[in-house]
Amino acid sequence: MQRYQIKQSTRMLLLALSLGYAGMSQAHEESGVMGEQADFLGYALVSCESPSSYFEAAIKDLSGAVAGLYVNLQIIKGSQADSTTDPVSGDNDFSSYARVDGGTGTYQLLVNKTAAGLRAFEVSFHCKVDNGLPGGEHTETRITVKQFSSLNN
């Protein structure tokens, strides 16, 4: 029987092909599931690069409606803050956008909920420059997730 020697580089190729690749997520959208705890908190820093003039974000509750259980989102930069809540869970609509006109730099983004219970959610977030056109213009946006848990349970 003839024996073949596989080059190391080919071996890596074969392994890569056999294992496949992770899927790619959409740009400027993040989704997740907030845990049972009422004080579950998602905390991220979003970098808005020049020539950003503001940062906006909205949240969508993907879970079914539960009385008194809503998902919220807050944006903070310096002395400015804004918040939004998805008023109807599971209707496939985002909340209205929260927006802070803080220019370039780092914004704090928080997601949380009003009561105990699992919540699947999606966040849409964008750094933008106000160019006078409806909706503004997207600018470079980079997110760093700092926490996604309850620290008290």
Partner 1 sequence: MCKNPKLNFIATSFVASTIALMSTSLLAHTRLETPEVTEGIRVTNNVVIGHGCGEKNIIGTSVVFPDGVDSTITVDGAPYTGKITDFIENWGNLNQKIYSTAVFKFQDEKVDDLGNVLGFWAGGGDSLPHNLAGFIPFRVSAATFKADSCAASVKVYVSVADICEITPISGFSADTVNLWTHNNLGTPYDRAVDPASPTADDGPASLTFKRAALPTSCGTTGKVVEVKPSAAQINRDMPIKLNGTQVWPAP
Q: Shortest gap between Cβ of 43 and partner 1 (angstroms)?
A: 10
Residue 39: CB minimum distance to partner 1, A: 18
Q: Which residue has the tokens 């993040």?
A: 30
For binding to partner 1 (CB under 8 A), which residues are involved? 7-9, 11-13, 15-16, 19-22, 45, 47, 49-50, 104-106, 140, 142-148
User: Would you say 85 or 106 has its CB closer to partner 1?
Assistant: 106
User: Distance between CA 66 and CA 90 in Å, rounded?
Assistant: 10
Nearest residue (CB) to partner 1, 7 versus 67: 7
The nearest distance, CB 99 to partner 1, in angstroms, is 20
Instruction: Using the minimum distance from each CB to partner 1, give the nearer residue, 69 or 128.
Output: 128
Min dist CB 11 to partner 1, Å, is 7
- Smaller CB separation from partner 1, 2 or 25: 25
**Secondary structure (3-state) at 54:** strand
CA distances from 84 to 12, 17, 70, 124, 152 (A): 47, 44, 10, 12, 24
Joined together, the tokens standing for residue 152 give 């008290």
